[in-house]
Amino acid sequence: MDFAVVHDLPGRLRFRTDPACVTVEVVHDLTGVLLADEVIVDARVNAVTGSVLVLFSPADRDKVLAAVDGYRFDADRAVARMASLMTHVPAVGAGAGAHHGHGLAVAEVGPAGLLRFAGYFLLRPLLPSFVRMAMAIYRSLPFLARGLAALWHGRLNVDVLDAAAIGLSLARGDFRAASNITLMFAASEYLQHWTREKSRESLAESLAVDVDAVWVRRGDVQYHVPLVELQTGEIVVVRSGSSIPVDGVVVDGDATVNETLMTGEAIAVARRVGSSVYAGTVVEDGRLDIRVTSVGAETRVNAIVRFIEESESRRSIAESRAEALADRIVPYSFLLSALVLLLTRSVYRATSVLLVDYSCAIRLSTPLAVLTAMREGAQNDVLIKGGRYIEALAAADVVVFDKTGTLTMAKPSVAHVIPLNGYSREDVLCIAACLEEHFPHPVARAVVRQAEEEGLDHQEEHTEVEYVVAHGIASRLRGKRVLVGSAHFVHEDEQVPAGEHQALISEWAHKGYSILHLAMDQQLVGILCIEDPLRSETPQVVMALRSLGVKRILMLTGDATSTAEAVAEASGIEEWQAGVLPVDKADVIRRLQAEGHSVIMVGDGINDSPALSAADVGVSLRYGADLAREVADVVLAGNNLNELVFARHLAQTALHRVHRNFQTIIGLNTGYLGLGLAGRLQPSALALLHNLTTVGVALNAMRPMLAAPRDAQGGDSDH
């Protein structure tokens, strides 16, 4: 069998082969062979797609490649493994170790896995009684061992509860009940593990680049080479209808590119020589020759995949609370069982209490609801970096917006350049562009873009630039100290006098422009009037957030009062502060939190980073500064504020689903418990009903993932 690497991340390789070659026997054989290799942590084979996912230590990548490349199917080995699995339905744990130990392939939850369970039910009545008894004891051993291990480590958890229920059935000589209980527990855990893994895997792979090989231009010749062999600096050729597999810069060609995956924008954009392009986007029309800057794990889209796959470490309070509650319930189940035994002298009824535990479903449904919400968010351009931020998004009662590039357009423009004190207009624009080109803030890009459009050459004559985290840049040019930034930075911090020009500055500011001040050697040499139009969606977003329960909405900006007032009025924001320094923004956030508020901060610049870090949830836009996106907890990948409204609704819906699942778990299991105590249900029937409830709430938690994708404004209607 030939395997090709289609997805390569540190510690995670996905191979693909011809699905026609992947029979049920191959699934079992290949899974067993891979899991027997000590360097492989986990392996999953999917017969439908011909996909093989292998997890391992990043240092062992070459050994994994050799193991997969050297695989040869062995029919006898496959039969032996399948026979082993038929006699022992594995008790699958939540961790990777348990998965490794039992060798459960995700694909087995399909026809092969279901047939295995059905086959046991059909064959069991035909077996001699001593064989059924031996099988019941054998199948009980993993559960008993897990319970004893938990007790040995001082934990009274659901493993102990399961072991007690099975142990009591065996002690009573009810081997049929013990066998049914173990089968139901195994089936439940089997489905729980699959749904959890499938949810996480689907979330990450919804963004993954799935390309086997690429065309590379070397000189005048094009070669078709495996993606894994591609090196930085090589020229990749991508034609109409093909995915771009790398991050890079266009060196030749002209094309329209669909960047929905990265930006959320449905309309294809033009890309030509000098343009940056990203892995996961698609060439709709034309051809591009791209010089590779990042490939594989280093591309932006795979960086997104990494943080999604690692996101479970950022657990929500609801998840932690659910897990703690699940463990706290277990001792009460034992106490109730003991009380029933004391009052009724019926081991049968005492066992019934142990078979109906609340903890399993509680522990499973909450993380699944969170993972599903994260996946739904990713499908709608809302990248949430962990479960805890879903809960914080739902609970926040205050939203704080930065102005420039957040409430206003991400591409402000230079409307006027006004020279002062003998400098020319060209001098002012060139000097400002020379300094601003080093920083990714939208205003800085506007200045650089204006200079380029006017054909002005702003050569690098200055020394190293210094970004002062207070709305300004400082450097030295031809021996003179040069400053560009806000009025606060230039006139208050750096003590450059405005003098007779103050009236002129105020006049332009009152017209609604943001003003950049340029000074050299303590003399104001010019101002740049920045026109920053309001985002068209801003007023509607402010109204929608209020309708979703946000009590206060504030705007913070370093601009002058007149500019801030004009933007706030147009946005429908009643609270705002002007002339705010970056450190002051963080202080505003902390004061709000000290008053008992939960705060969402939305910003896009380097200077917003302290406030983004201080907030309960930091939100950045796709075209914000790299640092802002890095420290943010949520990234609006479509660069549209409507995604913030979607994120809020998504989070509230997910939490609502968690609470509703909790009520369902408590209600149904309490009913089962009552029927068991009344002697109306057999222990095996209780185990079946309890586990069906667990699977049911798990599927409800995953319902949006199982349904067709919704648009960004739809969401799930759980309210």
Tokens 């040869």 belong to: 72
Asked if 92 and 98 touch (Cβ cutoff 8 Å), the reply is yes
What are the φ/ψ torsions at residue 88 (nearest 5 degrees)?
-145, 100
Phi, psi of 400 (to 5 degrees): -115, 125
- Cα gap 694→189, rounded to integer Å: 9
| 402 carries an active-site annotation | yes
Helix (H) or strand (E) holding 340: helix 317-344
**CA end-to-end distance (rounded Å), the chain:** 51
| Selection from 90, 177, 164 nearest residue 133 by Cα | 177
514 and 561 Cβ atoms separated by less than 8 Å: no
Candidates 381, 402, 532, 716; catalytic one: 402
* Cα torsion through 273, 279, 282, 283, rounded to 10: 20
Q: Which residues in 21-60 belong to E strands, given as ranges? A: 40-46, 51-56
Q: DSSP states of 377-429 as a string?
A: HHHTTEEE--HHHHHHHHH--EEEEEIIIIIB-SS-EEEEEEE-TT--HHHHH
Q: What is d(CA 549, CA 601) in angstroms, rounded to the nearest whole number? A: 16
Q: What is the DSSP string of 165-231?
A: HHHHHHHTT-HHHHHHHHHHHHHHHHHHHHHHHHHHHHHHHTT-----EEEEEETTEEEEEEGGG--
258: nearest Cα among 280, 227, 288: 280
The residues facing 383 across adjacent strands are 635
At residue 289, φ and ψ (nearest 5 deg) are -100, 120
**Phi (first) and psi of residue 474, to 5 degrees:** -130, 145
CB 213 within 8 A of CB 225: yes
Catalytic residue ranges: 402
